Structure 1
Amino acid sequence: MKFFRYLLFSAVFIFGAVSCKKDAENIWAVEIKEPAPKVEITDISKEFYNTGVPLEDFKQKYPWFQGSVSDEDYSTRRADTAEVKIYKEAISKIDIAKLNSDLTDLFSHIKYYFPEFKTPQVYLFSSVLSGIMEPVFYRDDVNMLFIDITGFMGENNPNYKGLEQYFQTSMNPQNIVPKVSEVLANYFVQPNPNHQKFIDEIIYQGKIMTLQDAFLPDFPDYLKMHYSQKQFEWATENEINIWNYFVENNLIFSDDLRLKERFINPGPFSKFYTEIDNESSPRVGIFTGWQITRKFFQQNPETKLTDFLKMNAQDIFNQSNYKPKY
């Protein structure tokens, strides 16, 4: 299989490919003349665990926070030293001032491309590790953004014992803003249920990643992919090998639903079903879709972002002329 031959020789060509590649102009580095209002984060758990704040006052201020928990259980939780300890450790790892600034910049970029976007109210809270698999969620009906700080305590944190390492890779404080950006990007990219081919899925993911580029033009690419730097380097260095594998195995236009699990969903690695699997980066289908959409904008730099999001996958692919080379 050519995949292995290319891998065998990739080390020879990688240096040359990287050294010859010129830094492309960042088309997303725009001037923001009308920034979004300055973000002022509210730390709900700070008040929740402050027993000096009467429970009734807390409930009136955040009537949606208690849910179905009884007052008795609520009071017990507030005084739980183990819960308080987790909260204090989690909040200690976050630079609130920097997060305010980064989110303000993020929202400003979103507003630049989508003027109708309104800056949401931002709340930090501690789920005591129960919500760490989806630590960021957005309530568009009330324009509230919630960030579970226990989902960003740092990979290999003792509190994450037993959690698969591949999840922990993106559980660092520096991953907060990219995850917020990704959650919000999903509101601007609508999947087409009638498109079931692999190309449709990777271009859909590429659109979300393109919004990441537009919303976070100064953030490192590896953070946008929720990769480690090593994982991003592997994907970048093996871009042509990945693409050749997809082409030679007739996967691009396949409607095999298992491809999503192999190349899109989170996991420790991608599933090529070869001995290279354990060395590979996960979610390479998303990475490939991203490179295709980036190539599209290199070929069509005048395309408006809103128009691009309405395009179908086949047209984007065709107009990208995506053919990675060493």
Structure 2
Amino acid sequence: MTVLLPIAIQIGCNRSNEECEIPSGYKENIASLDILRMEDLFFGDLSKDKMMSNLESYPQFTTAMFANMGIENQDQLADELLLIHQDSGMVELYQEVKAHFGDISDIKNDLEIAFAGIKYHYPNYKVPAVYTFVSGFGSDLIVTEDVIVIGLDYFLPNDHKFQPVDLPYYILKRYNKAHLVPTIVTAISSQFNKTKLTDRSLLAEMIYYGKSYHFTKTILPCTSDELIIGYETDEILGSYANEEMIWGHFIENELLFETNPFEIRKYTGEAPFTDVISPDAPGRIGRWIGWNIVDDYQSNNDLNLMELMKQDDARLIFKNSGYKPRRP
């Protein structure tokens, strides 16, 4: 069992946000965003007629939010939602969400900057309709090309008495307001992240995630790496301090072209740590290495974001990245 080296110094090559400023081109694209607070329409003094009216008045939201309930008849759907949203526990959850998210101007501002950044790189990008909701921990985020639905109950403070059930801490700690917009942008990146579906290798998955994090960092340049990948600061620094050893594990075990999904999951799947490398290595370490490879590929080939995201050949990205582990 390998034990990673302790962190003795600050790693100089870590992507720092000191003196960060939003690019001027992004600022020119900022437009006011209207976030619809749908939770306010589904709680309180509701009748079936009001519920039906809400469902009919917002068909885009209704389809995105409730289609997976498997109820095709809107009359039955209204009855079911009335029962759910008049439950005392749901009402209390709604009240707690309103107490913590009565003012969401900071989320609105961050999303406006994010959408401006995307439009700067993709001028034809159409900003989706954005809704908030209280789902009773049924849905955290829905992100499509046309709609974003934010389940605000998932993003209550980590010490709040209401928390999603059956989520381990290493995942739960990413469910808070600070991680919200970076998570949305990473989800949006899938619309632009081209990949060869025939390449099922570990390298291809590493590069896919690396491109998604690179996209998010480009769109949100003042957002820390921690909030983008969901690591703690000591995990980021420890990974840089031990990058050479971590990379050596991939090379010595000839893992890059591994196609066994069970093996791939060990390096890119959700886990508290990557135990096949070290109990001190954070989970999803393959995604982090992929991010470094993609950064080097972009830098060494002078590509803009659109060109980078269109490149679907993971092997070519790796070959032309010139990637080498950083040394502390």
Q: Which residue of 2 aligns with 1:104?
A: 112
Unpaired segments ≥5 residues, structure 1 = none
Q: Which residue of 2 aligns with 1:252?
A: 256
Rounded to whole Å, the distance in 1 between the matches of 2:181 and 2:295 is: 21
Change (3 A) 1:191 1:157: farther
One-letter amino acid matched to 1:58? N
Tell me whether 1:151 sits opposite 2:158 in the alignment.
Answer: no
Q: Which residue of 2 aligns with 1:71?
A: 78
Q: 2:94 aligns with which of 78, 87, 98?
A: 87
1:229-249 deviation line (CA, Å, top 9, x unaligned): 333333233222211111111
The number of residues matched between the two structures is 310
Q: 2:55 aligns with which of 40, 52, 59?
A: 59
One-letter amino acid matched to 1:305? L
Checking the alignment, whether the CA contact within 8 Å between 2:30 and 2:116 is kept in structure 1 is yes
SS in 1 for 2:26: coil
Q: Which residue of 2 aligns with 1:296?
A: 297
Rounded to whole Å, the distance in 2 between the matches of 1:289 and 1:30 is: 29
One-letter amino acid matched to 1:323? K
Tell me whether 1:240 sits opposite 2:244 in the alignment.
Answer: yes
One-letter amino acid matched to 2:157? G
Rounded to whole Å, the distance in 1 between the matches of 2:85 and 2:123 is: 41
| CA positional deviation for 1:30 | 5.5
1:64-91 deviation line (CA, Å, top 9, x unaligned): 2565344333333332221011122234
One-letter amino acid matched to 2:58? Y
After TM superposition, the structure 1 = structure 2 runs for residues 178-217 of structure 1, keeping only pairs within 5 Å, are: 178-217=182-221
Higher RCO structure, 1 or 2 (CA under 8 Å, sep 6+): 2
Rounded to whole Å, the distance in 2 between the matches of 1:205 and 1:164 is: 22
Q: Which residue of 1 aligns with 2:177?
A: 173
Checking the alignment, whether the CA contact within 8 Å between 2:46 and 2:82 is kept in structure 1 is no
Checking the alignment, whether the CA contact within 8 Å between 1:36 and 1:111 is kept in structure 2 is no
Rounded to whole Å, the distance in 1 between the matches of 2:24 and 2:206 is: 26
Q: Which residue of 1 aligns with 2:44?
A: 50
Rounded to whole Å, the distance in 2 between the matches of 1:229 and 1:247 is: 26
With 157-166 and 177-186 compared, the bigger mean Cα shift is at: 157-166
Rounded to whole Å, the distance in 2 between the matches of 1:258 and 1:28 is: 40
| CA positional deviation for 1:298 | 2.8
SS in 2 for 1:124: strand
Change (3 A) 1:91 1:251: farther
Change (3 A) 1:325 1:180: closer
Q: Which residue of 1 aligns with 2:35?
A: 41
| CA positional deviation for 1:36 | 4.1
| CA positional deviation for 1:24 | 9.9
Rounded to whole Å, the distance in 1 between the matches of 2:157 and 2:6 is: 32
Rounded to whole Å, the distance in 2 between the matches of 1:19 and 1:167 is: 28
Tell me whether 1:137 sits opposite 2:142 in the alignment.
Answer: yes
After TM superposition, the structure 1 = structure 2 runs for residues 106-121 of structure 1, keeping only pairs within 5 Å, are: 106-121=114-129
Rounded to whole Å, the distance in 2 between the matches of 1:51 and 1:203 is: 50
TM-score (norm 1): 0.85
Q: Which residue of 1 aligns with 2:136?
A: 128
Rounded to whole Å, the distance in 2 between the matches of 1:188 and 1:303 is: 15
With 291-300 and 55-64 compared, the bigger mean Cα shift is at: 55-64
Rounded to whole Å, the distance in 2 between the matches of 1:171 and 1:22 is: 23
Q: Which residue of 1 aligns with 2:26?
A: 32
Percent of pairs identical after alignment?
24
1:21-54 deviation line (CA, Å, top 9, x unaligned): 8969989945325414311111101121132683
Checking the alignment, whether the CA contact within 8 Å between 1:59 and 1:66 is kept in structure 2 is no
Rounded to whole Å, the distance in 1 between the matches of 2:161 and 2:232 is: 19
Change (3 A) 1:71 1:294: closer
With 316-325 and 227-236 compared, the bigger mean Cα shift is at: 227-236
RMSD: 2.7
Change (3 A) 1:204 1:73: closer
Unpaired segments ≥5 residues, structure 2 = none
1:226-268 deviation line (CA, Å, top 9, x unaligned): 2233333332332222111111111123333223210111122
